[in-house]
Structure 1
Amino acid sequence: MRLVSPPQLRLLGEFRLELGTDMVELCRNGQRLLAFMGLRGRVSRTVLAGTLWPEATEEHARGSLRTTLWKLPRGKPSLIGCWGDSLSISPTLCVDVHVLTRTALDVVEDSGPPSRTRPPLGLLTGEDLLPGWDEDWVLVERERLRQLRLHALDTLAEALIRQGRPALGMEAAWAGVRAEPLRESAHRAIVSAHLAEGNVGEAVRHYDAFRRLLNQELGVAPSPRFARMLPERLSERTRAPNRDLARRDCLRGWFR
C-alpha cells in the first residue's frame, strides 16, 4: 500500500501548497487566505474577511471570502473546516512556520540541543516569512519569527560553546550577526567561541571591529558585560580608543 504524504503549506520563502506530489497553483486571494489561516489556525469569518479585505464593506468582504473558499482545492479532509462562524485549518496540513516555531522554542526552553546531536542550524537560518508580501499581518508575523530565530540562535551558540563545540557555536552566532549586524549578543558569542579555542587575538580583533561599527552606526559603546569578557589589560586597551572616538564625535557635533 502506497503511503500518501500529508499536505504541506510552505510560507518560509515563496508560497507553496503541496498536495501529495503535486504543487497546487492558487490565485492571489487563495494564497492570502491559506497563509493567514496557516499562521492563525482558527479565526472567525468576520476577522478573516476584515483582515484580508480591509477596504471593502463587511458585506463585500464576506462575499469575497465565500468566493475564495469555494475556489480552494477540494479533497478529504478539506484544507479549511467550518465551525459555525469560525474557520480552522485542517490538522493534517503541515505548515513549515509551525515546525520552525516549535524547533526555536525547544532550543530556547531547553538551552540548546543535547550534546553531540546535530544542531538545527538549517531551519533557524532559513528564509523569511513570505518575502515581498507587505500586508500588516504578514509584517507582524515576520518580525515575530525573526526575533524568535535570533533568540534561538543566541541560545544555540552559547549552548554549543559550553558543550565544547565552538566551531558550530560560531556558525550559529554568525547567522545571528548576518540577520542583525548590530546585535551584541551574537557578537559576544563569537568572542566566546574564539576565547574557548584560545584565540585571544581574534577575540580582541572582533571586539574592536564591533566597537567601531557600533560607534559609527549608533554612537554608543558595547556594554560593560562585553568588555569584561576580554582579559583586563586588553579590555582597558580597547576602551581607551572608544573614549577618544566619542570625544571626537562630540566635538564634531559642536561645529556642524
Structure 2
Amino acid sequence: MDQIPRTTPDSGPRITLLDGFTVRNGAAARRPAAVELPRAVQRVVAHLCLAERPARTAVSGQLWPDVPEDRAQASLRSALWRLRRSAPELLDPSDGVLRLAAGVRTDVRELHGWAERVCDPRTGTDRVVLPDPALLGDLLPGWYDDWVLLERDRLARLRLHALETAAVRLGAAGRHAEALQAAYLAIRTEPLRESAHRTVVRVHLAEGNVAEALRAHDLFRDLLRDELGVPPTEQMTRLVRGIPRSRRLAS
C-alpha cells in the first residue's frame, strides 16, 4: 500500500491521537521511547494537538468545564507544570504562548496534510496516494469529552471525503487496484455510503469486470434493503442498467 510522503523531519517528538494517546521522544535517543504522562497532562497535550493557539481560558474551560474558572485555571497551571517537568520539548517556550513546539509531529496533522493533498485539484495524480495505515484509526477511542467527540466526528468525515476523492482520482488515472482499496476503506468507515459503493462499481466496469461490478451493486442493494428498507438511488442503478440480462445471469 502506498503511503503519504513525509513532509516533516523525523527528529522531533511524535504525538499520536489516532487509535490511542502516545508520546514518543525524538531521535536524540537512538531508540525513541514512549513518554508516560498523567491523564490530566495527556488531555492538555491532546487539546493542543487539535486546537490552533488556543487561549488559556478556552483550554481550561473545555478541559475542566464543571468547576469554577479559578479552579480550572489552577488545574491547567498544574498540568502545564507537570508537562514541562516530564516532556519540556513538547511545548513552545515562548512566554504567554500555549502551543506545541515547532518540531513536534502529530498524526492528526499528517492526516490533515494527506487529505489536503488528495483533495487539492492542483495535486498531480502521481502524488495521490493511499493513507498510511496509522492514519485510519479513530481519534482517542475511549475519551468522551465533548471537544473530543466533535473532533472525532470531524476527522472521520474529513478522512472519508478524502478517501472517496482519492478513489475517484486513482480510478480516473487507471490505478484501479489502489482506487478499489481507497473506496473499500471509505466503505469500512461508512458501510451505507452509496457514493463509495458507486466508485467500486465504476472501477470494476472500467477494468472490464462486469460480473464483479454487478456483484458489488447487488451486495449494496441488499445491504440497503436490509438496513434501511430502501432501494439504491437512480445514480447507482443507472451504472448497471444497460448490462444485458444474460451477463447478469452469468455473474
TM bucket (normalised to shorter chain) is 0.7 to 0.9
How far residue 126 of structure 1 moved from its aligned partner, in angstroms, is: 1.9
The SS at the match of 2:120 is: helix
How far residue 222 of structure 1 moved from its aligned partner, in angstroms, is: 1.3
The reply to whether residue 119 of structure 1 matches residue 129 of structure 2 is yes
- What stretches of structure 1 of length at least 5 have no aligned partner? 239-256
Report the counterpart of residue 18 of structure 2 in structure 1: 12
After superposition, where does 1:1-256 map in structure 2 within 5 Å? 5-20=11-26, 21-74=32-85, 79-81=91-93, 83-84=95-96, 87-110=98-121, 114-115=125-126, 119-123=129-133, 126-232=136-242
Paired with 1:204 and 1:35, the residues of 2 have a C-alpha distance of 45
Structure number having the greater strand percentage: 1
Paired with 1:112 and 1:218, the residues of 2 have a C-alpha distance of 38
Write the letter of the residue equivalent to 1:64. S
Report the counterpart of residue 4 of structure 2 in structure 1: none
Asked which structure has the greater RCO (Cα within 8 Å, sep 6+), the reply is: 2
Deviations 1:193-233 (A, max 9, x none): 11011111221121111112112212222111111112425
- What stretches of structure 2 of length at least 5 have no aligned partner? 1-8, 27-31
Q: TM-score if structure 2 supplies the norm length?
A: 0.84
- Shift in CA distance, 208/80, structure 1 to aligned 2, threshold 3 Å: same
The SS at the match of 1:41 is: coil
Write the letter of the residue equivalent to 2:44. L
- Shift in CA distance, 109/18, structure 1 to aligned 2, threshold 3 Å: same
How far residue 110 of structure 1 moved from its aligned partner, in angstroms, is: 2.8
Paired with 2:90 and 2:117, the residues of 1 have a C-alpha distance of 30
Write the letter of the residue equivalent to 2:49. G
Deviations 1:107-135 (A, max 9, x none): 012387623x5723324862111111111
Paired with 1:4 and 1:210, the residues of 2 have a C-alpha distance of 42
Paired with 1:78 and 1:207, the residues of 2 have a C-alpha distance of 49
Structure ID, larger Rg: 1
Write the letter of the residue equivalent to 2:237. A
